[in-house]
Structure 1
Amino acid sequence: MSMLRFAAALLPLLAAPALAEPDHPAAHAAAGAPGQASPAPPNAHLYFIAPANGARLRGPVLVQFGLRGMGVTQAGSTAAQAGHHHLLVDSREPVAPGEPIPADKQHLHFGAGQTETNLDLPPGRHRLQLVLGDARHKPFAPLVASRVIEVTVLPPARHRRVRRG
């Protein structure tokens, strides 16, 4: 193989890692310009597979995420029309358009592309909402979010002692 053909074949392989970096200009083009939300298709739909709205259950709570019209990927990935999940727990504040979704006990990030989790929630009523984030943890435009659901976590079951006699 000639040196010219070898260099031509090698060049795309050397450039690929740079294009995959979230701070590379090509990554910003795929994920929306800095300060702007990444575009989402109008038919994207984010929803809870489980639990159902109004569910009364004991912990840990299995939460399964559903998504149609877009794909799920890892945080930092600039794949077109794909993002990663964020689960809002007992948050009353809407996510800010164009701003990264906070990372705290009320805003759980699933940056490895997870589509379910087990939550250890204390007994009581809880509000849950899913929001899809782009490569930079920013919500898409239009917003890709589930409706808010409420679940009630019951106290642990009491075990009756059986007397043997």
Structure 2
Amino acid sequence: MRESISRRTFAAMAASAATVPLAGCQSDGSGNGNGDGGGNGESSGDGDAPIEYDGDASVAFGTPEDGATAANGVTVSMTAENFTIESSGEVNENSGHFHIVIDEGPVETGETIPNDDSHLHYGDGSTRTVLDLEPGTHELTLQVGDGKHRALPLTDTVEVTVEEASVSFGAPEDGATVESPVAAEFEASDSATVEQAGELSQTGGHFHVMVDTEAVEVGEAIPNDDSHLHFGDGSTSAELELESGEHDLLLQMGDGEHLALPATDEITVTVE
């Protein structure tokens, strides 16, 4: 494994601001991010000006740490110093949004960052997410792009090992006929730790039960309503008040900030 200093990459320029020429990108005609002269870089041939950024700017993973082991989703926090994180769309000086590149390394400066399973965009300005990755070792690269998703040379790279995890209903059994309140039990595999909300770790989370609704997309905040029951106190059992009839119950863990984790279990019960 490489030394930590080689994984933490940021632009170190002698001047107080750096300029990156972005060639081969089409202008949207808005003028956003296009300087009025005074920059020390040259504009690309199609009329787009270089993107200027602070010479002290840097980005980094807050979590996971380099070499971390994760289970049931990789909890990610992203930070920036001397650089503004904002939504995509406009191109502004010293501003952009985060991308995570999985197992492919950073995109060349000035190139448009692809949008696919290996290049995840956070154009809404997000700084927190959860990644659903296959078990094994993965290299994660954090990279900012400007408002047009053009890559800047502000990156950080960590390596994380993902272990398989699962959750399940200990009770009731799938297909059971029960009375309300329904005695429910929740279980997690050995690789996943059940903990209270508010705590963030790479192996922990707390349970939620979805009643007659689908799983929440990984990384999205789990709602708190009658169809999304939270057990942020770390409970592994509960009495569920359900109306008579057939119900689909889905078990899903969330991280300490209630962002959905990948592992789920689903059963159907009939309440008399």
Q: TM-score range by the shorter chain?
A: 0.7 to 0.9
Q: Look up the SS of the partner of 2:32 in the other structure.
A: helix
| Partner amino acid, structure 2, of 1:144 | L
Which sections of structure 1, spanning at least 5 residues, go unmatched? 1-21, 160-165
Q: Matches of 2:107 and 2:123 in 1, distance apart? A: 17
Q: 1:99 aligns with which of 78, 96, 111?
A: 111
Higher strand share: 2
In the alignment, what sits opposite 2:127?
A: 115
Which sections of structure 2, spanning at least 5 residues, go unmatched? 1-26, 36-42, 167-188, 191-272
Could you tell me whether the CA contact under 8 Å between 1:100 and 1:139 is conserved in 2? yes
Could you tell me whether the CA contact under 8 Å between 1:63 and 1:116 is conserved in 2? yes
Higher helix share: 1
Q: Deviations over 1:14-40 (max 9, x none)?
A: xxxxxxxx823421515x765665222
In the alignment, what sits opposite 2:155?
A: 145
Q: Matches of 2:67 and 2:52 in 1, distance apart? A: 32
Specify which structure has the bigger relative contact order, considering alpha-carbon pairs within 8 angstroms and separated by 6 or more residues. Answer: 1
Structure ID, larger Rg? 2
Could you tell me whether the CA contact under 8 Å between 1:27 and 1:78 is conserved in 2? yes
| Partner amino acid, structure 2, of 1:114 | S
In the alignment, what sits opposite 2:200?
A: none
| Partner amino acid, structure 1, of 2:125 | G
Q: Give the count of matched residue pairs.
A: 133
Q: Look up the SS of the partner of 2:61 in the other structure.
A: strand
Could you tell me whether the CA contact under 8 Å between 1:61 and 1:119 is conserved in 2? yes
Could you tell me whether the CA contact under 8 Å between 1:35 and 1:99 is conserved in 2? no
| Partner amino acid, structure 2, of 1:27 | N
Moved over 4 A (4+): 32-37
The TM-score, its normalising length taken from structure 2, stands at: 0.45
Overall identity of the aligned pairs, in %: 32
1:67 to partner: Cα distance? 0.5
Q: Deviations over 1:106-165 (max 9, x none)?
A: 11000000001111111110100110100110123xx1111x210001121646xxxxxx
Provide the aligned C-alpha RMSD in A: 2.1
Trace 1:63-142 onto structure 2 (pairs within 5 A).
63-92=76-105, 94-140=106-152
In the alignment, what sits opposite 1:50?
A: 63
| Partner amino acid, structure 2, of 1:69 | N
Q: Deviations over 1:21-71 (max 9, x none)?
A: x823421515x7656652221101100000110001202111110100111
Task: Please identify, of 35-44 and 101-110, the stretch whose mean Cα deviation from structure 2 is larger.
Answer: 35-44
Q: Matches of 2:110 and 2:161 in 1, distance apart? A: 32
Q: Matches of 1:127 and 1:25 in 2, distance apart? A: 36
Q: Matches of 1:70 and 1:63 in 2, distance apart? A: 19
Question: Structure 1 residues 36 and 104 mapped into 2: Cα distance closer, same or farther (>3 Å)?
Answer: farther
The TM-score, its normalising length taken from structure 1, stands at: 0.73
